[in-house]
A and B are shown apart, each in its own frame.
Chain A
């Protein structure tokens, strides 16, 4: 059973470009979470999605950031017009639904390290 997959593992963007980060949850998991880790800091929650629905986006910056989890395909975290302060590691986690497992267990992907030059 493959774990949570994230790609790319490393992404370099110039200021003003767009960054797209992809996350494929574990098989059978329908809940996806995105976290951001700044250097020397812990992980900060950004957004929680289920298929085709954003459940909680209280941690998302108000501008330039968006996330989706379509019916088919991976979850996408999109950052428009990137700035140097967006440089960080972005982690995706997934969990099963309450009907299929233990929704409080989150399994993390290896992360995407975004560098903005």
Chain B
């Protein structure tokens, strides 16, 4: 079975500061890991994904995440926050068979000017 825990339902950072959103997962099989962003009243947009290979993955809008198997983590980072980064962020895990995703409860990111 798979599950995801996102620590911190609300995170506030100053514009230009480091963004760090935490995600820990549980999986009985090698996981596929994803970060999605959701803007108000919109659907989910894929930021980045880890399937196999390089553990540091780069995504859109300057985001990146590192898969750490020993820590069962997949934290999302961005060196410098921009006002447009304010949104809800969801971490998700799936088994490598293409079936359902398990989502965390989300982290709402606020960027302070």
Question: Which residues of A approach B to under 8 Å, CB–CB?
Answer: 4, 6, 31, 33, 35, 40-45, 48, 55-56, 58-59, 91, 93, 95, 98, 103-111, 113
Contact = CB atoms under 8 A, between A and B. Distances in A.
B10 to A, nearest CB: 11
Contacts of A98: 98
B60 to A, nearest CB: 14
A45 to B, nearest CB: 4
Given A108-B44, A110-B43, A56 B90 contact: no
A108 B100 contact: no
Contacts of A91: 43-44
Contact of B103 (A44, A48, A104): A44
B46 A105 contact: yes
A22 to B, nearest CB: 15
Given A91-B43, A108-B43, A111-B43, A43 B94 contact: no
Interface of B: 4, 32, 36, 41-46, 49, 51, 90, 92, 94, 96-106
A100 B68 CA distance: 30
A33 B43 contact: no
Contacts of B46: 105, 107
A82 to B, nearest CB: 21
Given A42-B105, A105-B49, A108-B36, A56 B99 contact: yes
Q: Which 7 A-B pairs have the closest CB atoms?
A: A103-B98, A42-B103, A45-B100, A110-B43, A108-B44, A43-B103, A108-B43
Contacts of B44: 43, 91, 108
Given A42-B103, A43-B101, A104-B51, 8 more contacts: A33-B100, A43-B44, A48-B99, A48-B100, A103-B98, A104-B96, A105-B49, A108-B43
A58 B92 CA distance: 18
